[in-house]
Homo-oligomer: A and B are copies of this chain.
Amino acid sequence: MAVKLSAPTKTELLAVAGIELGIASAGIKTENHPDLVLIKLIDGSTCSAVYTQNVFCAAPVIVAKQHQAAASVQYLLINSGNANAGTGEQGLNAALACCQAVAESAAVESNTVLPFSTGVIGQQLPVEKMAAAIPAAYANLASDQWFEAAHGIMTTDTLAKGLSKQIEIDGQLITVTGIAKGSGMIRPDMATMLSYIATDAAVDQQVLDSILLKAVNQSFNRISVDGDTSTNDACILMATAQAGNKLITDSNSVEAQALYQVIAEVSQILAQAIVRDGEGATKFISVNVQQGASSEECRQVAYTIAHSPLVKTAFFASDPNWGRILAAVGRSGVKDFDLSKVAIYLNDVCIVSAGEPAKDYTEAQGQRVMDQEEITIQVILDRGEAEDTVWTCDFSYDYVKINAEYRT
């Protein structure tokens, strides 16, 4: 069902010196299914993170934030099948107990472990199953298991998501590898679904933080499947300092910019992969709003279109019912909006010009665009120089089916 998306092959996901990954089956949702991933960072690594802005954030998010503030990160522990969200005090204790189990296997302090969970909300995490599986994950830690890790973190995803990029910085070959999961409850807000990106570059904490924030804002914070912000979103960027480049300490340096570019590209491809694999998706839709007074208002218009069930069902039906796009623009709430200046395009086809239906538009032109799997909606506001883009998918029977049957 995913739109123009294929899973990476094992050889495409390059090892990152200083990162090892271990996989195990804890039997959280089904038996003998990889659902537990352990990631080890070599000593001297830096690690940045952004988390969900949902006030009801999950227990592992609370614990991960506390641990990150207290100590250098040495291990990430991720489980799929159970989000450990809405689980109260018992859920917090469960997350802490899982960190403790890693600490015992690895002989480290438990606050050097960051826990992450994804899956169903409101059920208690089976701590004993987790604790029983952690030694196996620890035992098989290896640098060439990004492919297995990408599978181990999946929930309703139909395909694993990951890629690698390489660039030269400071005369050294730098590798960036990232994996992500996510398919529903997707409307990240200053955060993302679960995504783990690592580089072997040497980068100090402040520069790494700024690269991650900027990259997330241009990728995971620009997608929506259903407008629902998860309780468990997290995006982690790790830098192991194994590549031999001189430590990057200035965000404005050529080296920091080069690293940002490649990390932003990896983030954007992963973010778009989540939309392409959106629950029930049959179309990948870019909503690009131009000539706004601010990026904020461009996003406001773009998200109003991207969240409209009527627009999304019309795309599912390949019906060029552009009146629904127009109605969404009209209700987006932009202040002092001058309708008579607005133009709207579906790919290269103009459907609205100067606020009126384009004179030479024909239904056949609209149909030609709607029959495609990838479509760009472009809205030109003609009131400024700002621009922004969000990515979304259509709304199908299968979205309802997947979410109506999620717990059965």
Q: Chain A: residues with CB nearer than 8 A to chain B?
A: 53-57, 83, 85-89, 120-122, 184-185, 189, 226-231, 307-310, 313-314, 316-317, 319, 321-324, 326-331, 337, 339, 352, 355-357, 395-397, 399-401, 403-408
A226: chain B residues at CB < 8 Å are 308-310
Are B327 and A403 in touch, CB under 8 angstroms?
Answer: no
Task: Take A56-B339, A331-B55, A337-B55 as given contacts and tell me if A404 and B314 are in contact as well, using a CB distance cutoff of 8 Å.
Answer: yes
A330: contacting residue among B55, B122, B307, CB under 8 A? B55
Task: Take A310-B185, A404-B314 as given contacts and tell me if A331 and B228 are in contact as well, using a CB distance cutoff of 8 Å.
Answer: yes
State the CA gap A196–B405 with chains docked (Å). 40
A328: chain B residues at CB < 8 Å are 228
Task: Give the 7 A-B CB pairs with smallest separation, nearest first.
Answer: A121-B323, A56-B330, A88-B356, A122-B323, A317-B404, A313-B403, A229-B331
A396: chain B residues at CB < 8 Å are 400
A85: chain B residues at CB < 8 Å are 323, 326-327
A321: chain B residues at CB < 8 Å are 120-122, 406-407
Are A231 and B189 in touch, CB under 8 angstroms?
Answer: no
A56: chain B residues at CB < 8 Å are 326-327, 329-331, 339
Complex: chain B residue closest to A121, CB-CB: B323
Are B310 and A228 in touch, CB under 8 angstroms?
Answer: yes
A401: chain B residues at CB < 8 Å are 397
Main secondary structure of the interface of A (DSSP, over half): loop
A231: contacting residue among B83, B309, B330, B408, CB under 8 A? B330
Question: Could you list some 7 contacts between A and B, CB below 8 A?
Answer: A55-B331, A83-B323, A89-B356, A184-B310, A227-B307, A317-B404, A397-B401
A356: chain B residues at CB < 8 Å are 88-89
Number of copies: 2
Complex: chain B residue closest to A313, CB-CB: B403
Instruction: Using A56-B329, A88-B355 as known contacts, list a sample of 8 further A-B pairs with CB atoms less than 8 Å apart, ordered by residue number in A.
Output: A54-B331, A56-B339, A83-B323, A185-B327, A230-B327, A231-B330, A316-B404, A400-B400
State the CA gap A205–B356 with chains docked (Å). 35
State the CA gap A309–B403 with chains docked (Å). 9
A310: contacting residue among B57, B322, B327, B403, CB under 8 A? B403
A323: chain B residues at CB < 8 Å are 83, 85-86, 120-122, 231
A122: contacting residue among B55, B184, B317, B322, CB under 8 A? B322
A404: contacting residue among B231, B319, B322, B339, CB under 8 A? B319
A55: chain B residues at CB < 8 Å are 329-331, 337, 339
A317: chain B residues at CB < 8 Å are 403-406, 408
A307: chain B residues at CB < 8 Å are 227
A88: chain B residues at CB < 8 Å are 355-357
Complex: chain B residue closest to A318, CB-CB: B404
Are A327 and B400 in touch, CB under 8 angstroms?
Answer: no
A87: contacting residue among B87, B120, B327, B357, CB under 8 A? B357
Are B54 and A121 in touch, CB under 8 angstroms?
Answer: no
Are B54 and A327 in touch, CB under 8 angstroms?
Answer: yes
Chain B nearest CB: distance from A72 CB in Å? 29
Chain B nearest CB: distance from A147 CB in Å? 30
Complex: chain B residue closest to A354, CB-CB: B88
State the CA gap A355–B228 with chains docked (Å). 20
Chain B nearest CB: distance from A155 CB in Å? 13
Complex: chain B residue closest to A316, CB-CB: B404
State the CA gap A112–B397 with chains docked (Å). 46
Are B404 and A400 in touch, CB under 8 angstroms?
Answer: no
A404: chain B residues at CB < 8 Å are 313-314, 316-317, 319
A403: chain B residues at CB < 8 Å are 309-310, 313-314, 317
